[in-house]
Amino acid sequence: MKKLFVVTVLVALAVLSSAAAFAGTYAMEKAGIQFTLPDSWQPADSRLGTMFVSPKGDMVAFFGEVDGEEGLDGAFAVVDEIVAEAMTDVEYEDAKETEING
């Protein structure tokens, strides 16, 4: 049985300083999740699935679905490439395993 991993990477250069009106709800049927983003964030296609860009262009969120650990490793490699093209001096936190919907 294949395990489904959801890649969610949020790369932030700045934290939003004001609360935005939340209006856009998006669903990932295969993963069985949905999420809400401010309506001012713009969706676009990316090599990972769907990408959302903040109004100021200082934050990007990628959402995609992959099967198995090999797919997850490949998705993280693509994220690394995209980040390297767009940003400098990026620091990552240590990875940690998280259980979702237990």
List the domain boundaries for the chain. Answer: 4-12+24-86
Q: pLDDT-based confidence at 72, cuts 50/70/90?
A: confident
Report pLDDT for 11: 33
Query: Between the CA of residue 23 and those of 2, 4, 37, 41, 63, what are the distances in Å?
Result: 33, 27, 7, 10, 17
> What rounded mean pLDDT belongs to the chain?
72
- Region 11-23 average pLDDT: 36
- Region 35-45 average pLDDT: 86
Which range (1-10, 60-69, 75-84) has the least confidence? 1-10
- Taking the whole predicted model, whether its pTM rises above 0.75 is answered as no
Q: pLDDT-based confidence at 102, cuts 50/70/90?
A: low
- Region 43-59 average pLDDT: 83
Report pLDDT for 23: 61
